[in-house]
Amino acid sequence: MIDYTLVRSGKARHMRITVYPIGKVRVTAPHHIPNFLVNRFVSKKQVWIERKLEYFKKHPAKIGNSLLRTRNRSQFKENKAKALELVTARLEHFNKFYNYKYGKVIIRNQKSRWGSCSRKGNLSFNYKIIYLDPSVSDYIVVHELCHLKEFNHSKNFWNLVGERIEDYKEIRKKLKLV
Protein backbone atom coordinates (compact mmCIF):
# COMPACT_ATOMS: atom_id res chain seq x y z
CA MET A 1 0.00 0.00 0.00
CA ILE A 2 1.17 3.50 -0.82
CA ASP A 3 1.93 5.83 2.09
CA TYR A 4 -0.08 9.03 1.65
CA THR A 5 -1.47 12.04 3.47
CA LEU A 6 -5.24 12.46 3.37
CA VAL A 7 -6.63 15.99 3.19
CA ARG A 8 -10.39 16.50 3.58
CA SER A 9 -11.80 19.48 1.71
CA GLY A 10 -15.22 21.05 1.66
CA LYS A 11 -14.46 22.43 -1.79
CA ALA A 12 -13.50 19.07 -3.31
CA ARG A 13 -16.14 17.36 -5.46
CA HIS A 14 -13.99 14.37 -6.38
CA MET A 15 -10.96 12.57 -5.00
CA ARG A 16 -7.60 13.72 -6.33
CA ILE A 17 -4.08 12.36 -5.95
CA THR A 18 -1.05 14.64 -6.03
CA VAL A 19 2.43 13.15 -6.27
CA TYR A 20 5.14 15.61 -5.25
CA PRO A 21 8.68 15.52 -6.64
CA ILE A 22 9.99 15.09 -3.10
CA GLY A 23 8.37 11.66 -2.92
CA LYS A 24 5.24 12.55 -0.99
CA VAL A 25 1.72 11.58 -2.01
CA ARG A 26 -1.38 13.54 -1.01
CA VAL A 27 -4.98 12.52 -1.53
CA THR A 28 -7.63 15.23 -1.41
CA ALA A 29 -11.17 13.99 -0.81
CA PRO A 30 -14.58 15.47 -0.03
CA HIS A 31 -15.74 15.10 3.58
CA HIS A 32 -18.56 12.71 2.68
CA ILE A 33 -16.35 9.97 1.16
CA PRO A 34 -15.48 7.25 3.71
CA ASN A 35 -11.89 6.17 4.31
CA PHE A 36 -12.37 2.70 2.82
CA LEU A 37 -13.31 4.30 -0.53
CA VAL A 38 -10.26 6.57 -0.34
CA ASN A 39 -8.06 3.51 0.27
CA ARG A 40 -9.68 1.67 -2.65
CA PHE A 41 -9.09 4.71 -4.89
CA VAL A 42 -5.40 4.81 -3.92
CA SER A 43 -5.06 1.05 -4.52
CA LYS A 44 -6.52 1.39 -8.02
CA LYS A 45 -4.05 4.20 -8.79
CA GLN A 46 -1.04 2.47 -7.20
CA VAL A 47 0.74 1.69 -10.50
CA TRP A 48 0.32 5.30 -11.68
CA ILE A 49 1.59 6.65 -8.32
CA GLU A 50 4.63 4.34 -8.37
CA ARG A 51 5.47 5.44 -11.93
CA LYS A 52 5.33 9.10 -10.87
CA LEU A 53 7.50 8.46 -7.81
CA GLU A 54 10.03 6.57 -9.95
CA TYR A 55 10.08 9.39 -12.50
CA PHE A 56 10.91 11.96 -9.83
CA LYS A 57 13.71 9.73 -8.50
CA LYS A 58 15.23 9.54 -11.98
CA HIS A 59 14.80 13.28 -12.69
CA PRO A 60 15.82 15.07 -9.47
CA ALA A 61 16.88 18.25 -11.31
CA LYS A 62 13.21 19.03 -11.95
CA ILE A 63 12.33 19.11 -8.27
CA GLY A 64 12.96 22.81 -7.68
CA ASN A 65 10.76 24.34 -10.33
CA SER A 66 7.93 21.80 -10.27
CA LEU A 67 7.60 22.06 -6.50
CA LEU A 68 7.56 25.85 -6.70
CA ARG A 69 4.79 25.87 -9.29
CA THR A 70 2.31 24.21 -6.95
CA ARG A 71 0.37 26.61 -4.73
CA ASN A 72 -2.03 25.59 -2.02
CA ARG A 73 -3.30 28.05 0.57
CA SER A 74 -4.36 25.45 3.15
CA GLN A 75 -1.03 23.64 2.87
CA PHE A 76 0.72 26.99 3.32
CA LYS A 77 -1.29 27.75 6.48
CA GLU A 78 -0.58 24.27 7.86
CA ASN A 79 3.16 24.46 7.25
CA LYS A 80 4.05 28.13 7.70
CA ALA A 81 5.01 27.75 11.37
CA LYS A 82 7.03 24.61 10.64
CA ALA A 83 8.90 26.44 7.88
CA LEU A 84 9.57 29.42 10.15
CA GLU A 85 10.95 27.10 12.81
CA LEU A 86 13.25 25.37 10.31
CA VAL A 87 14.49 28.60 8.73
CA THR A 88 15.03 30.34 12.08
CA ALA A 89 17.04 27.40 13.42
CA ARG A 90 19.22 27.22 10.29
CA LEU A 91 19.73 31.00 10.23
CA GLU A 92 20.92 30.86 13.85
CA HIS A 93 23.21 27.94 13.03
CA PHE A 94 24.87 29.56 10.01
CA ASN A 95 24.91 33.07 11.44
CA LYS A 96 27.21 31.87 14.23
CA PHE A 97 29.79 31.79 11.45
CA TYR A 98 28.76 34.86 9.42
CA ASN A 99 27.51 37.06 12.28
CA TYR A 100 25.32 39.29 10.06
CA LYS A 101 22.43 41.42 11.29
CA TYR A 102 19.07 40.79 9.69
CA GLY A 103 15.58 42.16 10.21
CA LYS A 104 12.37 40.19 9.93
CA VAL A 105 12.17 36.58 8.79
CA ILE A 106 9.08 36.09 6.65
CA ILE A 107 7.58 32.87 5.29
CA ARG A 108 5.67 33.20 2.01
CA ASN A 109 3.75 31.08 -0.48
CA GLN A 110 5.53 32.00 -3.71
CA LYS A 111 5.58 30.25 -7.06
CA SER A 112 8.85 31.56 -8.46
CA ARG A 113 11.33 32.03 -5.58
CA TRP A 114 12.82 30.01 -2.76
CA GLY A 115 14.00 33.08 -0.90
CA SER A 116 14.85 36.76 -1.05
CA CYS A 117 16.67 39.45 0.88
CA SER A 118 15.42 43.04 1.00
CA ARG A 119 17.58 46.15 1.16
CA LYS A 120 16.34 46.59 4.75
CA GLY A 121 17.81 43.21 5.67
CA ASN A 122 14.52 41.31 5.87
CA LEU A 123 14.76 37.68 4.76
CA SER A 124 11.86 35.91 3.04
CA PHE A 125 11.60 32.18 2.42
CA ASN A 126 9.15 29.96 0.61
CA TYR A 127 7.30 27.64 3.02
CA LYS A 128 8.05 24.72 0.65
CA ILE A 129 11.62 24.81 1.93
CA ILE A 130 10.47 22.19 4.46
CA TYR A 131 10.00 19.66 1.62
CA LEU A 132 13.56 19.94 0.36
CA ASP A 133 16.57 17.86 1.20
CA PRO A 134 18.36 19.46 4.20
CA SER A 135 21.45 20.25 2.10
CA VAL A 136 19.27 22.18 -0.36
CA SER A 137 17.35 24.08 2.32
CA ASP A 138 20.67 24.95 3.99
CA TYR A 139 21.92 26.31 0.68
CA ILE A 140 18.85 28.56 0.35
CA VAL A 141 19.28 29.89 3.89
CA VAL A 142 23.00 30.58 3.39
CA HIS A 143 22.34 32.16 -0.02
CA GLU A 144 19.93 34.72 1.47
CA LEU A 145 22.11 35.25 4.53
CA CYS A 146 25.10 36.09 2.30
CA HIS A 147 23.05 38.73 0.48
CA LEU A 148 23.19 40.74 3.71
CA LYS A 149 26.92 41.26 3.04
CA GLU A 150 26.92 41.16 -0.79
CA PHE A 151 23.63 42.33 -2.32
CA ASN A 152 24.51 40.80 -5.70
CA HIS A 153 25.79 37.59 -7.27
CA SER A 154 29.40 38.65 -7.63
CA LYS A 155 32.43 36.42 -7.14
CA ASN A 156 32.68 37.74 -3.56
CA PHE A 157 29.09 36.65 -2.92
CA TRP A 158 29.70 33.11 -4.20
CA ASN A 159 32.90 32.91 -2.16
CA LEU A 160 30.85 33.71 0.96
CA VAL A 161 28.29 31.04 0.09
CA GLY A 162 31.09 28.55 -0.61
CA GLU A 163 32.56 29.04 2.86
CA ARG A 164 29.63 27.07 4.32
CA ILE A 165 28.12 25.27 1.31
CA GLU A 166 31.03 23.80 -0.64
CA ASP A 167 28.84 22.01 -3.21
CA TYR A 168 26.60 25.03 -3.90
CA LYS A 169 27.09 24.69 -7.69
CA GLU A 170 25.58 21.19 -7.72
CA ILE A 171 22.71 22.33 -5.48
CA ARG A 172 21.98 25.28 -7.77
CA LYS A 173 21.65 22.84 -10.66
CA LYS A 174 19.18 20.78 -8.65
CA LEU A 175 17.06 23.83 -8.06
CA LYS A 176 17.40 24.95 -11.69
CA LEU A 177 18.74 28.32 -10.59
CA VAL A 178 21.54 28.25 -13.15
Which of 98, 172, 101, 106 lies closest to 142 in space, CA to CA? 98
Domain tally, the chain: 2
All residues at 6 or more sequence positions from 116 whose CB lies less than 8 Å from its CB, including other chains: 123, 124, 144
Mean pLDDT of 30-40: 95
Domain membership of residue 163 as a residue range? 68-175
Residue 14 maps to a domain: yes
Whether residues 76 and 160 share a domain: the answer is yes
CA atoms lying within 13 Å on the CB side of residue 133: 14
Amino acid at 150: E
Name the burial class of residue 72, with classes exposed (0-12), middle (13-18) and buried (19+) by CB atoms within 10 angstroms of its CB. Answer: middle
Q: Which of 36, 58, 80 is the last residue of a domain?
A: 58
Instruction: Identify the bridge partners of residue 108 per DSSP, sorted by sequence position.
Output: 126
Whether residues 115 and 134 share a domain: the answer is yes
Residue 63 maps to a domain: no
Instruction: Give pLDDT, residue 75.
Output: 83
What's the rounded Cα separation, in Å, for the pair 54 and 48?
Answer: 10
Amino acid at 58: K
Q: Which of 21, 40, 58 is the last residue of a domain?
A: 58
Mean pLDDT of 11-39: 90
Which of 9, 46, 45 lies closest to 28 in space, CA to CA? 9
Whether residues 171 and 98 share a domain: the answer is yes
CATH number at residue 119: 3.30.2010.10
Whether residues 79 and 159 share a domain: the answer is yes
Amino acid at 103: G
CA atoms lying within 13 Å on the CB side of residue 19: 17
Residue 102 maps to a domain: yes
Whether residues 50 and 79 share a domain: the answer is no
pLDDT at residue 67 is higher than 80: no
Instruction: Give pLDDT, residue 131.
Output: 85
SS3 43: helix
Residue 153 maps to a domain: yes
Q: Which of 33, 58, 83 is the last residue of a domain?
A: 58
pLDDT at residue 31 is higher than 50: yes
Whether residues 41 and 127 share a domain: the answer is no
Name the burial class of residue 30, with classes exposed (0-12), middle (13-18) and buried (19+) by CB atoms within 10 angstroms of its CB. Answer: middle
Single pTM value for the model: 0.63
Whether residues 88 and 158 share a domain: the answer is yes
| Top-confidence residue, 26 or 60 | 26
Q: Please say whether the beta carbons of 117 and 147 come within 8 A.
A: yes
Whether residues 29 and 106 share a domain: the answer is no
